[in-house]
Chain A
Amino acid sequence: MSINQSGWRPEMTAGDSRAPAPGFTGNKALMLEEPLIFEIGDGETTGVDLPAVARTGASRFGGLARTAPIGLAGLSEPETVRHYTRLSRQNYAIDLGLFPLGSCTMKHNPRLNEKMARLPGFADVHPLQPVDTVQGALGVINELAFWLIELTGMHGVAMSPKAGAHGELCGILCIKAALEKRGEGHRKVILVPESAHGTNPATAAFAGFTVEDIPATPDGRVDLAALEARLGPDIAAVMITNPNTCGLFERDLKAISDAVHAAGGYVYCDGANFNAIVGRVRPGDLGVDAMHINLHKTFSTPHGGGGPGSGPVVLSEALSPFAPLPYTARTRDGHVHLIEEERAEEFSAEHFDGRLDSFGRMTAFHGQMGMFTRALTYILSHGADGLRQVAEDAVLNANYVLRSLEDVLDAPFAGAGPCMHEALFSDANLAQGFSTLDIAKGLIDEGFHPMTVYFPLVVHGAMLVEPTETESKAALDQFIGALRSVAERAKAGDAALKSAPHFAPRARLDETLAARKPVLVWKDPAPQREAAE
């Protein structure tokens, strides 16, 4: 027989609960600490080899050549790759697990979208190239516009808004323009449900409107009677989120729209929650005049750590003429066209009886083209049948979470019937001193991103869970088990929850310190030394 010369053999120590002393690096195995680039890089290091260019002629900076250093730090390519790879590992992400952030629709981001957006024909095209050289890019915009119009049952779509809030502003400005065109600029009030996203009042105020709250019914929906009582000649619009931020479908939306239209106002729908109804309900059929669509929610373009978003706005026939340029609308011949400043008048005369009256431009260029390519790729992958299935599975998953947890967590509207694509809980029956925050931080230790917390504001200690349709039943069951366990600990008063998370790269962070003494940029501690030299 041969003897194991190396002396190596698998060995397990008996379980030793004593934690080791902190090591030399502060790292914990795969959890790696990473300094700032300014602490590890310097002004002389670079990670690029620049192309050689023959220098000719003197510089022509008009006497403005830079003399002072910028103060940038460079790293070599391997160091750069490692720096950002290490940073990336301190993030939670959809690719790692279920990300139940309510109202954010954190669904799987298909990589085909990324691949298509990177085709040179889309990625390497300048927005001001001659129109003949960008027919494919315009084709993408038109195709996506066509789908958005069809899926929502609307008439036109402004493609350029850069994100949801920007789209919301676009819709409200269309309403403002339409009112002024009618000579009814005196309509100054926009009605907004109490449960609305904070962007709604911010947007309305920017456009010069005053905001009034619409009360809710006990089952978490807009109070139609109260709304109707408030309608009058001073009402410009109502802004409604449907499904609403409590995760419920606004049953009376059609009646609301009819009443608002009869009173001379318009209906803005916040489309943040479109994922619940895509392919099953068309907002246009419910009388909506304008609705933004977050391509990064319903249509799977990446959230990217907080943007870029993309917020096209679909518009009714009444509002279409006022859309910002460039925008896309269906003309009389049934075709969908991209309309820019230059040809706007021509188009207007030809297809719209001269009614086009754009309120202006919201951004340089055409909008978030890179997101259009991804969204169109996603839409074509699913088709009309797949998108309908998306809504069904999203709603099914949310209801499954709701019914699996309503015995352990307070669910304020669970008795009112099914929810749509998100399940709402509250911290009403936790032990004294325990709140939503503790549940959230406890979920982190279980390997999940927490749900949306403390929103909507109308529910105290709200927890809004949106699983999305891209979670398997096994993933949902694991999440349900984790949330149940954390909730039970919070009901039992487990003190360890108060200091959770224990296993994350950082413990709870001091947000008060950050806000009292804002440190927003890194400052070099070296100057004292230089001054001393």
Chain B
Amino acid sequence: MRYFTEDHEWIEVDGQIGTVGITDYAQGQLGDIVFVDVPADGRSLGKGDEAAVVESVKAASDVYSPVSGTVLEGNTALADQPDLVNSDAEGEGWFFRLTLSDEAELESLMDEAAYEAFVAKL
């Protein structure tokens, strides 16, 4: 099941494990991604905490954790290929995986249809 935030993060949840990235819409707004700073393994994140930084040539944006949890791993492929975020934002360009500490937090997020409607209004 995939959820979305108003800050343009997505989280794919499989059991207790969530995979987080930024949406295709967001990458399109940012332009060419040149650098991604992913969180360290084992870092504990609260919902809404600054978890990662994504940089294009002229902008740097914080990426917030959609839910609380503990980071399992960051996407190491992004170190050499930050452009994965441009080419496949909602797949290969994922940022980090975490173990959810409170699944109930997912309820406040949007589903795909709701996110599409949200973006359409921007």
- Chain A contact residues, CB within 8 Å of chain B: 454, 511-512, 515-516
Contacts and interface: CB of A to CB of B under 8 A. Distances in A.
Contacts of B57: 511-512, 515
Interface of B: 32, 34-35, 55, 57-58, 82-83
A81 to B, nearest CB: 36
Given A511-B57, A512-B34, A516-B34, 11 more contacts: A454-B58, A512-B32, A512-B57, A515-B34, A515-B35, A515-B55, A515-B57, A516-B32, A516-B35, A516-B82, A516-B83
A512 B58 CA distance: 9
A229 B82 CA distance: 44
A515 B58 CA distance: 10
Nearest to B86: A512
A292 to B, nearest CB: 26
B82 to A, nearest CB: 6
Closest 8 CB pairs of A and B: A515-B34, A512-B32, A516-B34, A511-B57, A515-B57, A512-B57, A512-B34, A516-B82
B66 to A, nearest CB: 25
B89 to A, nearest CB: 16
Contacts of A511: 57
A512 B55 CA distance: 11
Contacts of A454: 58
B11 to A, nearest CB: 26
A230 B93 CA distance: 42
A454 B82 CA distance: 25
A454 B57 CA distance: 14
Contacts of B55: 515
Contacts of B82: 516
7 contacts: A511-B57, A512-B34, A515-B35, A515-B57, A516-B34, A516-B35, A516-B82
Interface centre among B57, B58, B83 (most CB of A within 10 A): B57
A531 B9 CA distance: 49
Contacts of B34: 512, 515-516
Nearest to A454: B58
B101 to A, nearest CB: 28
A294 to B, nearest CB: 24
B75 to A, nearest CB: 16
A511 B32 CA distance: 10
Nearest to A511: B57
Contacts of B32: 512, 516
B54 to A, nearest CB: 12
A258 B26 CA distance: 44
A308 to B, nearest CB: 26
Interface centre among A454, A511, A512 (most CB of B within 10 A): A512
Interface centre among B32, B55, B58 (most CB of A within 10 A): B32
A515 B54 CA distance: 13
Contacts of B83: 516
A219 B32 CA distance: 34
A512 B82 CA distance: 11
Contacts of A512: 32, 34, 57
Contacts of A516: 32, 34-35, 82-83
B34 to A, nearest CB: 4
B85 to A, nearest CB: 11
A315 B74 CA distance: 49
Nearest to B83: A516
A480 to B, nearest CB: 29
A512 to B, nearest CB: 4
A511 B34 CA distance: 10
A49 to B, nearest CB: 46
A454 to B, nearest CB: 8
A515 B82 CA distance: 11
B81 to A, nearest CB: 9
Nearest to A512: B32
A122 to B, nearest CB: 41
A156 to B, nearest CB: 38
A171 B88 CA distance: 47
A519 to B, nearest CB: 13
Nearest to A515: B34
A516 B85 CA distance: 13
Contacts of B35: 515-516
Contacts of B58: 454
Interface centre among B34, B58, B83 (most CB of A within 10 A): B34
B60 to A, nearest CB: 11
B37 to A, nearest CB: 13
A481 B58 CA distance: 30
Nearest to B32: A512
A511 B33 CA distance: 11
B4 to A, nearest CB: 26
B27 to A, nearest CB: 13
Nearest to B31: A512
Nearest to B55: A515
A516 B34 CA distance: 5
A513 B100 CA distance: 36
A433 to B, nearest CB: 15
A130 B34 CA distance: 52
A512 B83 CA distance: 10
A457 to B, nearest CB: 11
